[in-house]
Structure formats: structure tokens, C-alpha cells
Amino acid sequence: MKNFLLSVLVLGLVGYIAYDKFFASESSDGTRQAESDAGSSKGQEQQAVPAKVHPIEAGPSTAPAPDPVKKAFESLSAPTGLGRESARVARTADEISALLVSGQKAEEAGRIVESWVAYSQAYLAGVPEQYVERLRTKLEAIAQTQLNRRAPLSGLLEAYEVRPGDSLWEIANRWELERGVPLASGLIRHLNGLSSDSIRVGQKLLLPTAPAHLVCRKSEYRLYLLIGDCYLAEWGVGLGQEGHETPDGVFAVASRLENPEFYDRDRGRKVPPGHVDNPLGTRWLGFADPHSSYGIHGTRDNDSVGGNESKGCLRMRNEDVETLFDLLPLKSRVEIQD
């Protein structure tokens, strides 16, 4: 029995070597550290990767062996003390490692969107907890750097020249009609660093070629905003209490309200905005039928964010939901996962 447990621990350690190789070359602010020794740059990284992350790359005649770490963790039963989240991370360690390496190679080759997508997918897939902050910092740095460049990105951002009579609202509506991409005027402001809705004829704006959408991970109490497959921002959320659990599934935003009124079914009355008995806070993003009783809203009770106290809705701090409200248009996809 002792030998078996020792084997499991050893296999578990091997499974995370790929993460350590990736993050060891990252500085605390998410940027690549310069190599002082020219002989220890790309060559050594490429030699280390195939054995741990991409066994199939060892050669066409070498059959890919099953991942021993994945097999070891999946063979363990729940009573071992390995939590559900830890088991999820362990089962996907090989895929996440491959995404990190793919993102690193794309970044080094200057393929920004490809690296952004790979890092985003790895982050949402569930990197081990000790790497979450490092990868989040890296994603935020990539997003900020690209937005500061104010330049088109193939497959993500396209240049648009303001026409006579244009407003941000009209541009957003035309973009949806012509490109099929729902767009909020607030997202145009955010992508272009605008402090107001004021624009001028001939001005160049960046518009997304993929829609903004949300992914909520209930196990993490986090809500992620993406453009296409690229991470843009995240916030903490509160979830439904026992008996009113927040449902899993894919939903669409069908209503957007500022300072929403609340209908108290228990008392059969309407509660005005800002009233102490109104739990909806300053914004409401309601889901389409048949789930119109659910949505995303603010709260006066910041301590409830990160807990289970709502009637099934996603609950956010007022300042956070106000930011999200400006960025997310009607028809946006909201995916809620366990």
C-alpha cells in the first residue's frame, strides 16, 4: 500500500513539470524574461517539451503512450481526500500543458491571437491553483497591450472608419446587421480607449469580428468575459441558495435594465430601485424565455458575492455589473458551468 501511494505521488509530481517549465520562464508581471545565456534559449525549451507534454512528437514511429498522471488520478476514489476541483485539474493536466506550450510558441512567433486563445483556453480549463494568478496576469497584460496598440488583429479586431452621421449606437447596430456580431456601444468605447461617445468623421475604430460572451464557473464563483475565444475580464459572482440553485446551461441575454424594479412574488408587490428590499442592485441582464426569471444583477450586499444567497441568479457587486452592463449587448451568450 505504501509503495502504491508513493507511486501516485511521484506520478502526480511528473504531471505538473510542464507547468513549472512554462511558468519558470515567466516574470511576475506575465512577460518573458530575457535569457542571459544564448545557449539556453529556444533549443533547450524544445528539447524538454516533447518528453513531458507532447509524447507524440517523439517521432512518427512512436505510438503515443497513455498519460500516467491522468490514469493515476482517475483510478483514485473520492475518499482519498482529492477534491472534485483537484480531480478535474488532474484529468486535464496534459491538455492544459499542451495549450500553454502552444500559446508560448505562438507568442514567440508573433501570432498574437493564437497565443491569446491558447492561454485563455488553458486558464478557463482550470490550471492548478498556484498558477492561476500568474496566468491571469499574463492574459491581462496581453489584452491591455493589444488594446493599447489600437491596431487590427486578424481574426479578432477589424478597422472601421467613421462615416458622416455615425454614432456609436448606429455603428453597433449596423455591425450586427452586416456582420452578425451583436455589439454594445460601451464595448466600442472600451476597445478604442474612448472616454465618451463623441466620435468624428474619418476616425478609425476597432470593432470585434467575434461576439462578446460570458462563461460562469460555479465551482470558482467567477464570471469570465471573452471576445471570441480571447479572455478580456473577470469578476466574482454570488450564486443561488439551497432550493434555488443556479442552473447550468447556455442562455441568451434578452433584457437590459438600469436601476431595475423588483417584483416581490411572496408579498405581491413591486419594490422600487434603490429600496432596501430590492435585491437587484443597479443593473439587470435578464435571460430569454423559458429562463426569464433568471439573470445577472447587482447587489447592495457585497459580502454575498462568492456565496450562495440569491434565488438562482448570478449576483455581482454593483460597480462590477455596471462595467459588464456597458460591455455586453442583447443576444449575448451566457454559459453557466458547474
Q: How far is Cα 133 from Cα 28, in angstroms, rounded to an integer? A: 9
CB < 8 Å & 24+ apart, contacts of 5-11? 7/72, 8/72, 8/73, 8/76, 11/68, 11/69, 11/72
Q: How far is Cα 18 from Cα 311, in angstroms, rounded to an integer? A: 42
Question: Among this protein's residues, is 297 annotated catalytic?
Answer: yes
Element of type H or E holding 326 = helix 318-327
Q: Using CA of residue 147, residue 152, residue 153, residue 157, what is the dihedral sign?
A: positive
CA dihedral 273→274→279→283, nearest 10 degrees, is: 60
For residue 144, give the 3-state DSSP assignment. Answer: helix
Question: Among this protein's residues, is 275 annotated catalytic?
Answer: no
294 touches 173 (CB < 8 A)? no
Among 213, 216, 230, 297, which one carries the catalytic annotation? 297
Per-position DSSP letters for 224-273, written without gaps between them = EEEETTEEEEEEE-BEEPTTSPPPPEEEEEEEEEES--EEETTTTEEE-T
Residues contacting residue 300 through CB under 8 Å, at least 6 positions apart: 276, 279, 281, 318
Give catalytic residue positions: 297, 313
